[in-house]
Amino acid sequence: MTPLPSPEEIKTLIEAGVPGATVTVIANGSPSAQHSLLLDHEHARAVAEFLRDHAELKLDFCSLVTGVDWPDTETTAKVKGKKLVAGPDGVEQEQEVEETRKTKVPGYLEAVYHLFSMGKKHGPVVLRLRTANRTDGTHLPSLTPVWRSAEFQEREAFDLYGIVFDGHPDLRRILMWDGFVDYPMRKDYVPPEDDILVTGVKA
């Protein structure tokens, strides 16, 4: 069994082997400490091929592809500033005030890939790809041309989360029927009223 380089070491290998690639190590604070590598869209396919073919890594098997939904969030911050306030005599005076400002942080979707080496018997290496948003920017490059085992699993992420994998050889629904609307694994999904007939639960 060949020891697997750390995520930081793999990041260094990628950046040396794939010019222009942007790789970010995403830390995992859980006891598993299974850190992951976030890739940019433009170089994702080249990075995947590099990981598969690199003599030290040989990550030739993709065991799992899954989707993750990160909805829009809102941050709140208290900000100090100055503004004109009418005084007792009716004359405006400048006073320091504290305001609460809310900022909307757009959400996104993720595709997460778990990679192993069959020959070197090491892994997993976890890759992440993020969409621009959850509405009109849901495209990601397909990695099925690199790991054929990703084909059905990318279709599942497309079907349930709405991630569109550009370059996938057969991107169509795999669990839901063709006329189904929306993506049932998204956190804000609301089942239609017709689902009462199936589940007995009113939406």
Q: Tell me the average pLDDT across 43-67.
A: 98
Q: Which residues pair with 122 in a beta bridge?
A: 117
Lowest mean pLDDT across 67-71, 88-92, 142-146, 185-189: 88-92
The CA dihedral of 71, 34, 6, 114, to the nearest 10 degrees, is -70
pLDDT at residue 58 in the model: 97
Instruction: Provide CATH code, domain 7-72+108-199.
Output: 3.30.460.80
Q: Say if CB 23 and CB 130 are below 8 A apart.
A: no
pLDDT at residue 197 in the model: 47
Has residue 86 got a pLDDT over 80? no
Is the pLDDT higher at 102 or at 171?
A: 171
Q: Which two tokens stand for residue 50?
A: 């590099």
Has residue 60 got a pLDDT over 70? yes
Q: Tell me the average pLDDT across 125-143.
A: 97
Is the pLDDT higher at 109 or at 100?
A: 109
pLDDT at residue 162 in the model: 97
Q: Tell me the average pLDDT across 81-92.
A: 72
pLDDT at residue 56 in the model: 95
pLDDT band with cut points at 50, 70 and 90 for residue 99: confident
pLDDT at residue 67 in the model: 98
Q: Where are the domains of the chain?
A: 7-72+108-199, 73-106
pLDDT at residue 193 in the model: 76
pTM assigned to the model: 0.84
Across all residues in the chain, what is the average pLDDT? 91
Any residues with CB less than 8 A from the CB of 152 and at least 6 apart, and which? 174
- Sign, CA torsion 33/45/19/3: positive
pLDDT at residue 3 in the model: 85
Any residues with CB less than 8 A from the CB of 167 and at least 6 apart, and which? 45, 141, 142, 144, 145
Nearest Cα to Cα of residue 126 among 42, 11, 45, 16: 11
pLDDT at residue 198 in the model: 52
For the segment 141-198, what is each residue's pLDDT rounded down to a tens digit? 999 999 999 999 999 999 999 999 999 999 999 999 988 989 999 999 998 776 544 5
